[in-house]
Amino acid sequence: MIEAKNIYKSFAELEVLSDVSFTVNQGEVISVIGPSGSGKSTLLRCLIGLEAIDSGEIYIEGLSVKKAGRKAYQKMGMVFQGFNLFPHKTVLGNLIEAPIVVNGEDKKEVKKRAEALLEKVGLYDKKDAYPSQLSGGQKQRVAIARALAMQPDIMLFDEPTSSLDPELVGEVLTVIRDLADENITMMVVTHEMSFAQDVSDRVFFMDHGKIISDSVPEKIFVNPDSTRIQNFLTKILSQNDGSL
């Protein structure tokens, strides 16, 4: 569960998040959509501590990040647009690194868990490959497995398919869809509207650093109540050949 209260964040003069508050319940899947520069990525980055907030409160599974720090952050896993795999480690090495180094877990057990995760994302046969030998879609699936290897309660996805070739988007979305069915809490910043509509319990529409709509997908996609949302959807759907 995530609770955010009155978050403000500025980069120099630019206010990126302005009085953002929301709650994400256990097991909910939230899509965050909106124009570029609306603060979607910054919101995720603030939640997991990659950016410091200027004011406000964030609670992760009831823990205040201000007080609990690392302990609260570690309840979350994050997947980046640019994968950020460790190039000097094999696929399996990427997965087992943090559980061993950070949690001090037994290597044998971590390996077993990591192999099961690779099985799940369909990349068991690539476990000894290096990231440079993988396609973008495969890299992102490894990145998802790597985050899951730390057994987080919450997964944050920051535009997980934005740097992929169009034909590789599907395999990554399938993996995320499967996760959504597993009762893991998720927040996904995405430009894939049909995906957002299918998997989300709720959709946050962000614009100018605010969540201007927090509602079920049907409401946003079928019956948007604001012209800003309508304009955004018209624009993005025309780019996607009109298919939702």
Partner 1 sequence: MDYIINVSGYILEGSIVTFQLYLITALLSVFLGIAGALGKISKIPLLNSFLSFYTWVFRGTPLLLQLFFAYYGLPVLGITLEPFPAAALTFTINYGAYFTEIFRGGIESIDNGQYEAAQVLGMNYRQTMSRIIIPQTVKRVLPATSNEAINLVKDSALVAVIGLGDLLRAAKVAVTRDFSIIPFIIAAVFYLIISSVIVNIFRRLENKYSVYE
Contacting residues toward partner 1, per CB under 8 A? 48-50, 70, 73-74, 76-78, 80, 82-88, 97-98, 101-103, 130-132, 146-147, 150
Q: Based on CB atoms, which residue is closest to partner 1, 88 or 108?
A: 88
Determine how many CB atoms are found less than 10 A away from the CB of residue 144: 24
For residues 18 and 187, the answer to whether their CB atoms sit within 8 Å is no
Q: Which is nearer to partner 1, 68 or 233 (CB)?
A: 68
CB of 83 to partner 1, least distance (A): 8
Closest approach of partner 1 to the CB of residue 177, in Å: 22
Which residue number, 89 or 219, has a Cβ lying nearer to partner 1?
Answer: 89
Shortest separation between residue 48's beta carbon and partner 1, angstroms: 6
Which of 89/210 has CB closer to partner 1?
89
Beta strands per DSSP E along the chain: 2-11, 14-24, 29-33, 55-60, 63-64, 76-79, 154-158, 185-189, 202-207, 210-215
3-state SS of 167-212 is HHHHHHHHHHHHHHCCCCEEEEECCCHHHHHHHCCEEEEEECCEEE
| Shortest distance, position 103 Cβ to partner 1, whole Å | 8
